[in-house]
């Protein structure tokens, strides 16, 4: 196996570094909150050099956006159940589970904090939002192709996701399955 094949091996050193850095960011946000740590502290916690983080992500905001989007994609993927109602219920349940899980509040706070951290933070936030909206749009487009009436992506954000995020951010009660299904029902 030559050096290029070894470098592309899934689960190799690069994947281990990425996972360690992502976990370090999540832990630091949980412990200290957003904006209260540096790339150097992330690197030390992950057991990597600062230069590895700068080379891969460029800056802290891009790293934070990558952490948020990676977690969303892994833990709240876009489902394909065969119906829009099924897709939205499954998606909403996944999001609810993620944002109420052990690191959920940290990820929610990260997404909010990116908005207030200068131009790099705003760009990182916009990248996360745009990618997630693109993914939502693909689910909605599939529904339309099946002949179902589908809301726009902003409608899903406004009527399903935003209420869940607000409840978590402000400690306004649990995200029960009945509550989450009710949000989807009202949207549809």
Per DSSP, the three-state class of 159 is: helix
Return the percentage of the chain with pLDDT > 90, whole number.
Answer: 46
d(CA 12, CA 102): 27
Of 19-33, 132-146, 153-167, minimum mean pLDDT range: 19-33
Residues 64-92, mean pLDDT to the nearest whole number: 87
pLDDT of 124-143, one tens digit each?
Answer: 778 778 888 888 999 999 99
Residue in this structure with the two tokens 């065969």, named with its chain if needed: 82
pTM of the predicted model, to two decimals?
0.72
Return the percentage of the chain with pLDDT > 70, whole number.
Answer: 86
Mean per-residue pLDDT of the chain: 85
The reported pLDDT for the residue numbered 15 is: 85
Residues 137-161, mean pLDDT to the nearest whole number: 95
How much of the chain is helix, strand and coil, in % rounded to 5? 75, 0, 25
Task: Answer with the residue of higher pLDDT: 108 or 162.
Answer: 162
d(CA 27, CA 5): 32
pLDDT of 24-48, one tens digit each?
Answer: 998 888 888 767 889 999 999 999 9
d(CA 171, CA 6): 47
**Could you report how far apart the first and last alpha carbons of the chain are, in Å?**
53
Q: With cut-offs at 50, 70 and 90, classify the pLDDT of residue 115.
A: low
């Amino acid at each position: 196996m030559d050096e290029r094949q070894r470098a592309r091996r899934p689960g190799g050193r690069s994947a281990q570094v990425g996972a360690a850095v992502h976990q370090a960011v999540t832990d630091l946000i949980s412990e200290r909150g957003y904006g209260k740590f540096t790339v150097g502290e992330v690197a030390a916690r992950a057991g990597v050099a600062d230069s590895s983080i700068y080379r891969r992500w460029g800056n802290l905001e891009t790293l934070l956006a990558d952490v948020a989007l990676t977690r969303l994609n892994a833990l709240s993927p876009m489902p394909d159940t065969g119906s829009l109602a099924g897709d939205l219920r499954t998606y909403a349940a996944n999001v609810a589970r993620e944002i109420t899980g052990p690191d959920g509040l940290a990820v929610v706070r990260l997404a909010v904090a990116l908005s207030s951290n200068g131009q790099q933070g705003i760009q990182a936030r916009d990248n996360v939002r745009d990618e997630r909206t693109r993914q939502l749009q693909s689910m909605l487009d599939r529904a339309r192709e099946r002949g179902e009436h589908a809301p726009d992506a902003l409608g899903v954000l406004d009527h399903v996701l935003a209420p869940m995020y607000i409840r978590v951010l402000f400690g306004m009660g649990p995200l029960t399955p009945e509550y989450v299904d009710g949000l989807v029902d009202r949207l549809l």
